[in-house]
Structure 1
C-alpha cells in the first residue's frame, strides 16, 4: 500500500494502519511518500505502484494533484482511494465555505497545541511564587493577595498560549527582586473589595474544616494585606484590575484586550 500526502502523511498512514488491523495479515508493506507537491513525483510513484500492484491511498489537498493522481491511476488500472476530497466537499457544502487547499495546515494546529501545553506547564511550574526566575521568563506576571484568582487566571490564560507566572503578596514577605527587573507593562495587579475577600476566605476556612478565628479571614488582616498590595502595585506602576464579583473569564478578557491594545508587551 502506498500512502501519498502533500504534507507529512502521518494521519493518512495511521488511518491506513487502523484499517489494515481489521484484517488477518501478519505483514503488509505500507510505504509513506510525504511532501508530494508536483506531477513528476506522482509519475515516479505511479510507476513504482504499478510494478508492485499496490493499492494507493492519498490525502492531497491541491485539486490539480488530486485530479491527476485519480486519472492516471485509473488509466494504469490502479485503485486509488482519496481520503481527503470527499470530506472537504461535504464540509464545504455544510458550511458554505471554500477549502483553502493549502498543505500542512494541520501541523500548524499541532504547533498551536504544543505552545498551549508549554504555557500550561509554565503556569504550573511558576505558580504561587514557587520559583521567582519565572517572572523574568513570563509573558505576564500576576500579583495579588491570597484568593484573588491568580492561579485559575494563570491557567485560563495558559490555554490562550500565554506564559503566566503569579506571585502572592504577603506583608511579612519581601517581594522577589525579579518583580523590579521586568517592565511594569508585563505585571498585572489583582485587587478585590475587602468584604468580598472576607467572604471568600471565610468559605475557604469552612471548606478546610478550620476555625473562623484564624487571622487569614479577619477583616483587620485583610485590610492590612490589601493596603500592602496596593502600595506595592503603585510603586511598581503596573496596571491593576479589580476582580470583585468577576468570573475568571471576565478578568482574562480584560487582560487579552490589554494585550491586543498594546498595553501589555
Structure 2
C-alpha cells in the first residue's frame, strides 16, 4: 500500500521532499506518494491542504519560515487529527538560541545561496576556459577582459574575480602576435589593461625562469625585451581606450578591488 505525504513549503519544497524520501526509504522500500504544495503564503491554502491530508489519511511535512504559518498549520493539523512534522522550525529555533541572533524569516534563501554557488562555479569554469587568450570567441561573453604582458597577474586575478561571480577572460599581449580583433570591436569599458614596473617584472620573470630550471639570461627576462613588450602593450591599450592599472607591488586582492571599482563606475577610473 502506498502512503501519501503532503509537502508544504513557502518556497520550492525540495528540502522537505528530500527529508521525506530519505525517511520513507527506511520503510518498505520508500514507496510513498509525495504531493508538493509550493510557495504557500496564506492560511486558506493551509486549510485546504490539511483537509485533503485528513481525507487521504496522509502525513504532512512542512518547511514554513514565517512563525504565524507554522503555528497555524500545526493548529489545523491537530484539530483535524493529521500528523504534521515541522522540518525547518526546530532547527531555526536551535540556531537562534545557540547563536543569539534571530532568523531573517525570508523564504527561499537557501535557493538564492544555491544560485550564487552555481554562478560562481560557472564563472570559474569560464575563467579557466578563456585563460591566456585560448579562445577569442569567449571575449564577447565575458563580463571583463584583462589584457597585459606575461606575468602581470592576469590568471590569478581572473580566478579571484571569478569567485566574485564575474566571467573573466584574459589575453596576453605579445609583440609578435596580433591581438584578437574582438579587443577593438568590444566596448572599451569591459576591457582593463594591466601594466607593471619594468624592474619588478624583470625580477618576477627571472625568478620564474629559475623555478623552471632555466637560465635567467633568456630573452624573456631581459630588461630590453620587457621594455619592448610594455611599450607595445601600452600602445594597444591606448588604441582600445581602456582603463589601465599598474599592478606593481599590488596584491591580487588589491588589484581586484580596483577592477571592481572601475566596473562599478561603468569602466572609468577614478
What is the alpha-carbon distance in structure 2 between the residues aligned to residue 258 and residue 93 of structure 1?
Answer: 42
Shift of 1:60: 0.7
Residue 29 (1) aligns with residue 32 (2): yes
Q: For residue 22 of structure 2, what is the aligned residue in structure 1?
A: 18
Distance in 2, Cα, partners of 1:264 & 1:93: 47
Query: Is the 2:192–2:242 contact (alpha carbons within 8 Å) kept by the matching residues of 1?
Result: yes
User: What is the aligned partner in structure 2 of residue 214 from structure 1?
Assistant: 218
> 1:182 Cα shift?
1.9
How do residues 139-218 of structure 1 correspond to structure 2 at under 5 angstroms? Answer: 139-218=143-222
Q: Which runs of 4+ in 1 moved over 6 A?
A: none
* Distance apart, 1:96 and its partner CA: 5.1
In the aligned structure 2, how far is the partner of 1:102 from the partner of 1:86? 16
In structure 2, the CA distance between the partners of 1:247 and 1:19, relative to structure 1 (3 Å rule), is farther
Deviation at 1:15, TM superposition (A): 2.2
Cα distance, 1:113 vs structure 2: 2.3
Alpha-carbon distance in structure 1 between the residues aligned to 2:182 and 2:126: 17
Matched, 1:132 2:136: yes
* Unaligned 5+ runs, structure 1: none
Contact 1:145/1:229 (CA < 8 Å) preserved in 2?
A: yes
CA distance in structure 1 between the aligned counterparts of 2:147 and 2:117, rounded to whole angstroms: 27
3-state SS of 1:37 partner: coil
Aligned to 1:87: 91
TM-score by length of 1: 0.89
Establish whether residue 55 from structure 1 lines up as the match of residue 45 from structure 2. no
Distance between the aligned counterparts of 2:28 and 2:38, measured in 1? 25
The whole-number CA distance in structure 1 between the counterparts of 2:250 and 2:268 is: 21
Match of 2:29, SS state, is: coil
The residue that corresponds to 1:258 in the other structure is 262
Q: TM-score, normalised by structure 2?
A: 0.88
Structure 1 Cα separation of the partners of residues 225 and 139 of structure 2 = 27
Q: In structure 2, what is the equivalent of residue 234 of structure 1?
A: 238
Q: Is the 8 A contact 1:3 1:30 kept in 2?
A: no
Q: Structure 1 residue 106: deviation in Å?
A: 2.1
Residue aligning to 1:6: 10
Unpaired runs of at least 5, structure 2: none
CA distance in 2, matches of 1:157, 1:184: 18
Cα pair 2:190 2:263 within 8 Å, conserved: no
Aligned to 1:109: 113
CA drift of 1:154 comes to 0.9
Q: Judging changes above 3 Å, is the alpha-carbon distance between structure 1 residues 122 and 212 closer, same or farther for their aligned structure 2 residues?
A: same
